[in-house]
């Protein structure tokens, strides 16, 4: 996160999350989350150029 003055890496993030989970989580899933997380937030966040947040659960277009 160089934009906020924090030096880290995907590997450090995976190691940290795995240590918190006491190895209950599957490392491959944690790695996928870490590697795709920024892209996912960018997609959902309209300020990052994405279409906006997903509608609330249970929301239907016909409800509007």
3-state secondary structure 26-50: CHHHHHHHHHHHHHHHHHHCHHHCC
Long-range Cβ contacts of 42-50 (<8 Å, 24+ apart): none
Of 14 and 48, the structure prediction assigns the larger pLDDT to: 14
Of 46 and 24, the structure prediction assigns the larger pLDDT to: 24
Domain residue ranges of the chain, discontinuous segments joined by +: 25-52
pTM of the model: 0.58
At residue 8, the pLDDT reads 80
Of 40 and 20, the structure prediction assigns the larger pLDDT to: 20
Question: Are the C-beta atoms of 53 and 43 separated by less than 8 Å?
Answer: no
């Amino acid at each position: 996160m160089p934009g906020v003055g924090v030096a880290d890496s995907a590997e450090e993030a995976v190691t940290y999350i795995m240590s918190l989970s006491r190895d209950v989580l599957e490392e491959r899933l944690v790695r996928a989350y870490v590697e795709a997380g920024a892209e996912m937030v960018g997609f959902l966040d309209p300020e990052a150029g994405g279409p906006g947040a997903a509608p609330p659960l249970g929301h239907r277009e016909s409800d509007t």
